Structure 1
Amino acid sequence: MKRIIVSLLAGLVLFPSMIMAGLQEEDLLNNVHKRFQSIVAERGGEPDSISRQGMTIEKKIPFDVKVSGKALTMFAVKISLIDAATGQKQNVSLIVDETGSVQLDGAFAELSTGLSLHQDALDQLERIEGDPGVGDLLLRGSGDAQVLFLSDPFCPYCRHGYTYLLDQMDRIDQLKIAHFPINPNSGALALTFLMMEFKGQDNYLDVVDFAYMIDMDDLSGNRDYQVISMFNQEFGVFEDEPEKVFAYLEDRHLDLLTEEMEKMQGLGLTGTPVFIVNGVMVNGFNKVRINQLLEK
């Protein structure tokens, strides 16, 4: 999975006398800001390039954990960081104490079962409320789960995820797919336009299968044109040269694709794949976690 990952490291130390009413939000943001600055400095960058003004708390979910018979209030927190140069948003999810100075780096788990004691809070944190406004219906299954798959057809983990989801249709009611081509020179743009062009048609699933099964090693030169040529060899639907077909598809679908990619970035997407199962977002092809959500 191609994405930016920042690990904020802190030891978990519990001081009952420090427990306060409510999350100390300003202290938390200041501490996160300092940690980001130190990470940038460790990598040889300029610490002042990280702006405190670009950090906000998007969502916070309180929960209690019993430690030595006493209830310890913790928070699952989603912090949004805006890159001042690009305007791109990145979300960072943390488990912190009320003081905003201590982070859980690991997991609260019930020792006898291994079950997470904070996963429900994280699920609430990552839940997307309402319709995200992206995604086309790909398949209907015989299950109950609503799944939205945000993907790049040339991302290896996306391809694994696509195959996995097709095998889970007995647990899925609706499987929707939204396109997020990462590398504009890979040929993924042509594949995305083709999937958008044939959306809702009888051969739509065949077109998506083609996009996720095409051998990338067979491509060279202008990959978008070659994708169109290989597609036409299999489906025989276009009469014009690949260059003209690509220009036609780009003219029809680029604006909508750009709009949908902006919506996905607004959800905090920085890479692929992303799975949204019954409203809960899973970043990366985490088969165990996706399976757990499909079972709920």
Structure 2
Amino acid sequence: MRRISFRLASVSLALGLLLSGLCAEAMAAAHARKNQAAAKPTPAAEEKAQPAAQGLDVEAFRRNFVAGLAGRRNAPALSPDNVRILSTEKAVPFAGTDIYAVRGELIPADGQAQPFTLFVSADGRFYVSDIIDLGAGKSILKPARDKMLAEDLAQLGHVIAKGTGQRTVVYVSDPFCPYCRMAFAFLMEKPQAFAELRLAHFPLSSHSGADIACALMAWAVDKAPDKAADFAKFAYSDLAAPRPADKSEASRKKAWVEVANAFLKRFPELKALGENGEAIVNALSGSSWGAAVQADMARAAALDVTGTPVVFVDGARVEGFDQKRLGALLQ
């Protein structure tokens, strides 16, 4: 399993990915600046009111959450208004209090929204990672966690293939990761096992040009859905990974253009974006397709994805290309 090469900050669940700038690392700086400018956060006070589960002190949760993040290295300036609450639900009673599942987004003023799902105490003071019933030997949060996971997975990725089976497969991946390519080929050979295969983009910063490849696959899902599977097959089978001479901005841009030209040669319909690779890269800058890739990354990060590939089969998680386990889950 390929892991992200730079150090991730440690914050409850995957929120450290926001503070360490994962999305900005994975997508080019120019793309990130434009996307951030286009996605201005809406303060919580201006959001359409979401009915909170009775008994949960939402405002205390917002205050405590922001206070806990404030001391983190590279933490952006945050206020409780930067915490958008999407839904709350009572999960389980425990030790004289109630534990609530809180789903929301942390939205710094100049950054990418980072989704989160947390279990917290009713007073909004404590984050609860798990509660194990020692006598029963099981987690009492598991039913609520499984429900939240199913809801999160339903929003992750984009359908690139439909099969004749019953299972839903969500595949978090980077097209230039060799293990991702092996897993992709394996999954595409199993249409009898899944009802749909959803691809969630997670380009690693160490793979120059992967972000552009992912944005072009997102374009296909949006503008040429009948070709979405072909775009993905090309990216994961035939597309050569660029080999930049160094880590300079010039080398990175050259890799983007190389990837865009390769796609254009294979898919002439991309001329709708530009006549050549450079024009296509410019068209993708600040586009909704680049934003879709960042959204995939943020949602995957909220599920504690830190490397690729990760495959979810009806919610069961497989990290790396574990062919034996994948085969068993797809039977």
2:51 maps to: none
SS at structure 2 position matched to 1:59? strand
The aligned counterpart of 1:187 is 209
Match of 1:63 in 2: 91
Out of 82, 91, 102, the position equivalent to 1:54 is 82
The match for 1:223 is 255
**Distance verdict in 2 for CA 1:236–1:146, change over 3 Å:** closer
Secondary structure in 2 aligned to 1:200? helix
Secondary structure of the 1:104 match is: coil
1:260 maps to a residue whose letter is: A
**Residue type at the aligned position of 2:92:** D
Question: In the alignment, what sits opposite 1:17?
Answer: none
Partner residue of 1:76? 101
Give 2:277's aligned residue. Answer: 246
Shift of 1:156: 6.6
Alignment CA distance shift 1:30-1:151 (3 Å)? same
Contact 2:99 2:120 in 1 (8 A): yes
Structure 2 residue aligned with 1:16: none
- Does the C-alpha gap of structure 1 residues 284 and 79 become closer, same or farther in structure 2, counting only changes over 3 Å? farther
Q: Aligned pair 1:200/2:200, yes or no?
A: no
Give distance in 2, aligned partners of 1:246 and 1:108. 52
Note the C-alpha offset of 1:26: 2.0
Shift of 1:162: 3.5
Provide TM-score, normalisation by structure 2. 0.56
- C-alpha deviation, 1:186, in angstroms: 1.3
Equivalent residue of 2:106, what SS? strand
Shift of the alpha carbon at 1:211? Answer: 1.9
Q: Which amino acid aligns with 2:143?
A: D
Which residue identity lines up with residue 109 of structure 2 in the other structure? A
| Aligned match of 1:99 | 123
Distance 2:98 2:240 in 1: 51
Instruction: Tell me whether 1:138 sits opposite 2:164 in the alignment.
Output: no
| Distance across 2 between alignment mates of 1:133 and 1:103 | 24
Aligned pairs, number: 262
d(CA) in 1 for partners of 2:67, 2:242: 44
Identity %: 22
Give the aligned partner of residue 117 of structure 1.
140
The 5 Å alignment of 1:23-34 reads: 23-34=56-67
What are the superposed Cα offsets for residues 189-247 of structure 1, whole Å, 9 maximum, x if unpaired? 5534664567534xx656534422556475555223444676799x6989x9xx95424
Q: Is the 2:61–2:124 contact (alpha carbons within 8 Å) kept by the matching residues of 1?
A: yes
Name stretches of at least 5 consecutive residues in structure 2 with no aligned partner: 14-53, 246-250
Given the superposition, is the C-alpha separation of residues 277 and 260 from structure 1 closer, same or farther in structure 2, using an over 3 Å criterion?
A: farther
Contact 2:172 2:300 in 1 (8 A): no
**Structure 1: which amino acid aligns with 2:11?**
S
* Pair 59,46 (structure 1): closer, same or farther in 2 beyond 3 Å: closer
Q: TM-score scaled to structure 1, two decimals?
A: 0.61
Gaps of 5+ in 1: 10-20
Query: Which amino acid counterpart does residue 146 of structure 2 have in structure 1?
Result: D
- Look at both structures and tell me which one has the larger radius of gyration over its CA atoms: 1
Higher relative contact order (Cα pairs below 8 Å, separated by 6+ residues): 2
Which residue is equivalent to 2:292? Answer: 260
CA shift at 1:115, angstroms? 3.7
Distance between the aligned counterparts of 1:159 and 1:112, measured in 2? 43
CA RMSD of aligned residues (A): 4.9
* Cα displacement string for residues 66-101 of structure 1 (whole angstroms, at most 9, x for unaligned residues): 66xxx7531122242111123x21123322222222
- Please say which of residues 146-155 and 21-30 is displaced more in the overlay: 146-155
Amino acid at match of 1:211: A
